[in-house]
């Protein structure tokens, strides 16, 4: 996935079994390639063989009335979203498109890649992550074994819940051949309430207050001046979705609850609201900058403290907060070590984890991309890897240098 290597097209599960077994016999390692939109994610670890899932296409099941969809791993995300849109439905976890962040075209992601990195957007704070919508899957493990897990309903309690393991595993455990997902109706409309006039810390506190109201915001972001919408002041952005009459009533109630001296409120209509959150989903305020990009997850109450700590030790070019302050996107000036010690010291002081999303191959080969794990968790991670892929065939070195 991260180097020029021979590419083998996987047309079906039998091809996947044969390819992985052949690699195991030769001691080779394999990258899993979908649309290529996430090729810059993870450690730089050249692989001997690329397994392309581009031919694993087709929606194998879609029952709109049952809110369930099954598709092969190589199906473009855009194709699934278009199909759902025609039936007034959506993937509620709002998967991020990493392509533009890496200078690639938008719309190249596959559903297998989305699940592999557990991609989720601004609505995650309300709807959950990709792993919360994965009902079942079929895959071929690093042992060359075909595995089926889960089913077509949420209340499937037979066996182990392997969905939670493969989501976010970056292809290091298995090649996903088919996935079954829960889908949900699209809201009738949406708007975004902007609260302008408070500083960064006050805006984040306002977002936390909004989450404690009965107004049911679906997304909450803090945009520093200039981050988006050509705003010349810091702004708190609160998305409301649902029936039009409900959205209007909840917006008015939020204004009444949050109003204070110096604040002014603006409302983005449905079109402008969707445009804003699509950009935030894809980290547009930092993606357009030239620099190294970090993604930091902390408790919402700690977000501002973490950014202030980082500002004291590293040059911040751009940043914004999602998930009411619990997700921070940062673009820093380029440095050989990506200011990893500064970033991780700030995160460790508040609790959370930081992931280096965009950096050069040289930096990604030497800096820990994912936050270092406590010894007990690292040991568990290794045991899971050994269970699925004892010879370290799949994405060797992608997440951890040792496997």
Would you kindly state where each structural domain of the chain is located, as residue ranges? 1-186+373-402, 189-282, 284-366
Phi, psi (deg, nearest 5) at residue 272? -65, -35
- Structure confidence by residue, pLDDT tens digits, 325-366: 999 999 999 999 999 999 999 999 999 999 999 999 999 999
CA distance 285 to 54: 30
- Structure confidence by residue, pLDDT tens digits, 40-87: 999 998 878 999 999 999 999 999 999 999 999 999 999 999 999 999
Helices 244-258 and 200-211 cross at an angle (nearest 10°) of 130
Asked if the 189-282 domain carries CATH number 3.30.70.260, the reply is no
Q: What is the pLDDT of residue 3?
A: 44
Token pair listed for 75: 């199906």
- Structure confidence by residue, pLDDT tens digits, 272-298: 999 999 999 999 999 999 999 999 999
- Per CATH, the number for 284-366 is 3.30.70.2740
Q: What is the pTM of this model?
A: 0.94
Token pair listed for 160: 């182990």
Whole-number average pLDDT of the chain: 94
- How big is the chain by its Cα radius of gyration, in Å? 21
Same CATH fold, 284-366 and 1-186+373-402? Answer: no
Q: What is the pLDDT of residue 204?
A: 98
Provide the 10 A C-beta neighbour count for residue 63.
11
Instruction: Give domain 1-186+373-402's CATH number out of 3.40.50.1110, 1.10.3720.10, 3.40.1280.10, 3.30.465.10.
Output: 3.30.465.10
Residue pair 337/377 in contact (Cβ under 8 Å)? The answer is no
- Structure confidence by residue, pLDDT tens digits, 186-201: 999 999 999 999 999 9
Report the sign of the C-alpha dihedral through residues 63, 65, 66, 67, in that order.
positive
Q: What is the pLDDT of residue 160?
A: 64
């Amino acid at each position: 996935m991260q180097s020029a290597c021979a590419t083998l097209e996987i047309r079906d599960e039998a091809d996947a079994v044969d390819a992985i077994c052949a690699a195991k016999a030769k001691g080779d390692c394999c990258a899993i390639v979908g649309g290529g939109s996430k090729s810059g994610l993870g450690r730089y670890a050249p692989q001997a063989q690329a397994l392309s899932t581009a031919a694993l296409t087709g929606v194998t099941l879609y029952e709109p009335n049952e809110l369930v969809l099954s598709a092969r791993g190589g199906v473009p995300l855009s194709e699934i979203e278009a199909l759902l849109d025609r039936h007034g439905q959506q993937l509620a976890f709002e998967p991020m498109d990493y392509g533009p962040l890496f200078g690639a075209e938008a719309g190249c992601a596959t559903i297998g890649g989305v699940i592999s990195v557990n991609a989720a957007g601004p609505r995650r704070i309300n709807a959950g992550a990709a792993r919360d919508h994965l009902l079942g899957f079929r895959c071929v493990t690093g042992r060359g074994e075909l595995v089926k897990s889960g089913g077509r309903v949420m209340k499937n309690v037979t066996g182990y819940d392997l969905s939670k393991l493969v989501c976010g595993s970056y292809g290091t455990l298995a090649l996903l051949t088919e996935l079954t997902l829960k889908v949900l109706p699209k809201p009738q409309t949406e708007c975004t309430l902007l609260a302008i006039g408070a500083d960064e810390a006050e805006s984040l506190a306002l977002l936390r207050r909004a989450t404690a109201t009965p107004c049911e915001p679906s997304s909450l972001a803090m945009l520093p001046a200039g981050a988006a919408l050509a705003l010349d002041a810091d702004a708190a952005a609160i998305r409301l979705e649902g029936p039009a009459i409900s959205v209007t009533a909840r917006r008015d109630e939020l204004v009444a609850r949050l109003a204070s001296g110096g604040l002014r409120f603006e409302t983005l209509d449905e079109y402008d609201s969707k445009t804003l959150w699509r950009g935030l989903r894809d980290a547009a305020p930092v993606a357009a900058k030239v620099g190294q990009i970090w993604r930091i997850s902390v408790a919402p109450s700690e977000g501002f403290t973490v950014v202030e700590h980082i500002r004291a030790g590293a040059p911040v070019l751009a940043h914004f907060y999602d998930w009411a302050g619990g997700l921070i996107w940062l673009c820093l000036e380029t440095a050989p070590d990506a200011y990893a010690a500064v970033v991780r010291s700030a995160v460790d002081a508040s609790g959370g984890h930081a992931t280096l999303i965009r950096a050069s191959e040289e930096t990604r080969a030497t800096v820990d991309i994912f936050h270092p794990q406590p010894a007990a968790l690292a040991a568990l991670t290794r045991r899971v890897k050994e269970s699925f892929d004892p010879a370290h065939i799949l994405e060797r070195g992608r997440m951890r240098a040792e496997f």
